[in-house]
Amino acid sequence: GCILDGKLYPFGEIARTDNCFRCSCNPESMRCCSLFHTPVGYDKENCKVVFNKKSCDYDVVQKSDPSKECPVYSRV
């Protein structure tokens, strides 16, 4: 298998690792891509970015009230 962040994964396709990556593992290599996109277009003065490990994505919430989401205009 392949080791990523100290965890052993089996050869083949891995739909989602513990750290929110999709990977392909073979005896020669392991290739991974992220399952999330980083917000870049949002109100940085009043909002903050928080990683949601359950959904494998970033939430953009109000600094004054993290229970309220902020609009996101673009992600990379």
6 with 23, same domain: the answer is yes
Tell me how many domains the chain contains.
Answer: 2
6 with 30, same domain: the answer is yes
Confidence of residue 22 (pLDDT cuts 50, 70, 90): very high
Quick check: pTM over 0.85?
Answer: no
In this predicted model, what pLDDT tens digit does every residue of 23-75 receive, in sequence order? 999 999 999 999 999 999 999 999 999 999 999 999 999 999 999 999 999 99
Rounded to whole angstroms, how far apart are CA atoms 30 and 17? 12
The DSSP secondary-structure symbol of 58 reads: E
pLDDT given at position 37? 92
Rounded to whole angstroms, how far apart are CA atoms 67 and 76? 24
24 with 51, same domain: the answer is no
Q: Residue 43 belongs to a domain with what CATH number?
A: 2.20.25.590
pLDDT given at position 61? 98
Cβ 2 vs Cβ 8: under 8 Å: yes
pLDDT given at position 40? 95
Domain span at 70? 39-75
pLDDT given at position 2? 94
Nearest alpha-carbon partner for 33 in 43, 42, 23: 23
